[in-house]
Amino acid sequence: MRSLGLAFVFVCGCAPAAVVAPAAAPAALVQPVAPASEPGAPPASAAPNRCARVPGPKPDPDRASARRGQLCVDHRKIERTLRRDFAKEYRKARAHNTLEVGFGCDPLITDVESIVVERGSGHGGSLTIWHLTRAKDDKTAFEVLGIAGSRSYLRAPTIDGQDAVLVARGRLASQKLDAALEVARPALTALFRELEQPTPLLGLSGYGSSGNFHHFVAIRDAGGHELSRQFTGYPSGGAQHHTIGLGRAVNQLGPLLDGYELEPERASDELREWFSLHLAEAWPRTGGEYAWWVRERLVTIAGRLKDRTAIPMVVDQLEWGLAQLEEAGEQREQLTERYLLEPLTILTRLSDWDPRVDSRGDAVGLVSAARDAISECRR
């Protein structure tokens, strides 16, 4: 049976613990970049930019115009069931507190046209992105496209020695999808409010986990309305408000995609164009503290596809890596390769310029190479 991932990404990762820096602080790793020239001023150098940047994709006009809408779909019947289920699942801070479970608006009042699901975990796991779109030649089916990326660009799949990406393709009957969406859609709108009660003799309770994960689901209808929700972080009592409803939606959609198998596929213009658009949309919403590994996986996929529009994102990762090394203290040396090697490798593939080698052909240290890359690519 073919296995397929969801249009959501579940990624989990834990950044290495920072160590207190020694008394003699190391020199700053992130060097200031010279200010840009005044408008109309001649360029500081006539040399071409070695980053070989190309314009990124234009924003999807349909997605850019996404609207919530003033009307809401009536899910009250299934909401009654979900309310009971969610109340049992929710772990209150105090046993005597009062929990209220409510639901927001599902604005998808016309036929569903597309679904995006991202799912992944940060502990060395992969990020899987699924995109389901209603088939143009058959309104009773959805085209399924999935793509996955692991942490390591250097250990990614190949075909005849050439870079490849893990891709899944197929079709899904809309009847099966509708059954899953009947629960997933109201679950995405779930709201929780825990009311504190006067219980002075009782202490607070809570829970947590070291498993960083990422879930994202976005559903869009033919009228341009969108219903979406995302969480990236660690399971905890404070995160329940975000994870319970989203988790139920992911659990409804996941089994439909698990039958599609991810297989190595050569990069193509079609895949590059699709992923470039997805990357441009996903990058702004994955800038949170716990989403560093999600961006890492996205850049890895872009490198395998040789998507040159991703160069600014690769540079973002280099800047993030240098910032992490600034705070790593005595662990800095051993973490340098962890944070800088793969982004520099990917930049070399995308731009055909290797900042790890100078004009004389001599090797350049990773930190210096990262600084040079940032300065060159940002000018």
What ranges make up the beta strands (E) of the chain? 8-12, 98-103, 112-122, 127-134, 141-149, 158-159, 162-173, 190-195, 213-221, 226-233, 263-266
| 198 — pLDDT class (breaks 50, 70, 90) | confident
Q: What average pLDDT does range 317-335 have in this prediction?
A: 92
Residue 3 scores a pLDDT above 50: no
Q: Given this model, what pLDDT does residue 115 score? A: 98
Q: Is 279 buried (19+), middle (13-18) or exposed (0-12) by CB count in 10 A?
A: buried
Q: What average pLDDT does range 282-291 have in this prediction?
A: 94
Give SS3 for 76.
helix
| 238 — pLDDT class (breaks 50, 70, 90) | confident
Provide, rounded to the nearest whole percent, the portion of the chain with pLDDT above 90.
66
Report for 149-163, 195-209, 305-319: range of highest mean pLDDT = 305-319
| 353 — pLDDT class (breaks 50, 70, 90) | very high
Residue 162 scores a pLDDT above 90: no
**β-pair type (8-12, 112-122):** parallel
Choice between 121 and 122, residue whose per-residue pLDDT is larger: 121
Residue 254 scores a pLDDT above 60: yes
